[in-house]
Amino acid sequence: MGGAPASLTRGLEACAYGLGFDAFGVAALGEPATRPHFDAWLEAGRHGTMAYLDGAGAELRRDARQPHPGATHAVVVAASYGGREPSGPVARYARGDDYHVVLRERVRELHRWLERELGHPIDARPYVDSGPILERDLAQRAGLGWFGKNTMLITPRAGSFVFLASLFVSLELEPSAPFEADRCGACTRCLDACPTGALPAPRVLDASRCISYLTIELRDGIPEPLRAAMGGLLYGCDICNDVCPYNRKFSKELSEDSPFRPRPFLDGVPSRELALRVLGMGVPEYT
C-alpha cells in the first residue's frame, strides 16, 4: 500500500502531460503558507472593489480543505497559453477559446482516469480560476514554480504565461516537493515597467491600480489619473510578464491546433479599430 500513492501519482502525471498540460504536481490541502500576506493585502484594501475576495470568500481561502469538504489533496496543473505572440490591446490569455471550458474538461479527464485506474468512483472537484482558493500558493506547494516579483507564478517549463487548474480529491496521493527557490534575484524589471504603479514593492500587487483590474473587474469608471498610462490596452495587460527575463527564456510558441490561438476578430487589430468593432456589436455577435 505504501507504494500505491506514488505509482498512482506517476500515472496521473503521465496522463496530465498527455492531455497537454505543461506542469504537474500534487499538494496536500491545508492552511496556505501565504495566508498572513493575503490577510495583510485585504487589510490594506489592495483588492479594490473585488468584495468576493473578502468576508466569506476570504474565510474559505484561508484553508484549502474548506471549499470541497472531504478533499485531502489537490492535483495541480499548468497549461501554457503562449507568450511569444505580439502584445496588443487584449491580453494574450483572452484572445482564444475560453480557458475555463477548455481546461475544466482536461481536468475532468484526469478525474475519469483516476476512476478507471482504481475501479471505483472518486469524490473530486475541478477548479479552473473558479473557486475560493489561493491557486498560486497551491501551485508553489505542488512544486510548479515560484512567485515572481509581479506576484505571478513563474514555471520553469513555460514562464508565467500559464493557466493554473486543479482537481481536489478525497484520495491519498504522494505530495510533490514544494518549489522553494526564489530565482528573481535583484531583478525589478516588472516593477519598473508597470505604467500605473500597481507593483509598489516586490510581490505586492495593488489591484486597484492594475490595468487588468481596471479593464475587467472594475465596474465604475476608470480613475482619470490612471487613464493616460493605460495607453491602448482594452482588456487585461501583459506588460509585467513581457519584460520578465524568464518569460523570454521559457514562454512557448502556440501550436497550430492550440485552442488558445487568437481569434481572427482579435488577431493583430489596433486598439481603436477593435474598440469600434466591439462597440458596434449586437447581442448575437457578442454572445
Evaluate whether 78 touches 144 at the Cβ level (below 8 Å).
Answer: yes
Contacts of 134 (CB under 8 A, 6+ apart): 32, 34, 35, 38, 61, 64
Q: With 60 as the cut, is the pLDDT of residue 1 above it?
A: no
Instruction: Give the separation between CA 152 and CA 159, rounded to whole angstroms.
Output: 9
Evaluate whether 239 touches 259 at the Cβ level (below 8 Å).
Answer: no
For residue range 192-211, what is the model confidence (pLDDT) as tens digits? Answer: 999 999 999 999 999 999 99
Predicted confidence band at 4 (pLDDT cuts at 50, 70, 90)?
low
How much of the chain exceeds pLDDT 70, in percent? 99
Burial label, 58 (beta-carbon count in 10 A; 0-12, 13-18, 19+): middle
Mean pLDDT calculated for residue range 214-232:
97
Average pLDDT in the chain? 96
Evaluate whether 206 touches 200 at the Cβ level (below 8 Å).
Answer: yes
Residue 2, pLDDT score: 40
Which DSSP helix (H) or strand (E) runs through 162?
A: strand 162-169
Q: With 60 as the cut, is the pLDDT of residue 3 above it?
A: no
Residue 285, pLDDT score: 81
Q: Which amino acid is at 87?
A: S
For residue range 6-55, what is the model confidence (pLDDT) as tens digits? Answer: 889 999 999 999 999 999 999 999 999 999 999 999 999 999 999 999 99
Q: Is 117 left (phi over 0), alpha (psi -120 to 50) or beta?
A: alpha
Q: With 80 as the cut, is the pLDDT of residue 256 above it?
A: yes
For residue range 163-196, what is the model confidence (pLDDT) as tens digits? Answer: 999 999 999 999 999 999 999 999 999 999 999 9
Q: Which residues are catalytic?
A: 129
For residue range 53-63, what is the model confidence (pLDDT) as tens digits? Answer: 999 999 999 99
Q: With 90 as the cut, is the pLDDT of residue 89 above it?
A: yes
Evaluate whether 153 touches 160 at the Cβ level (below 8 Å).
Answer: yes
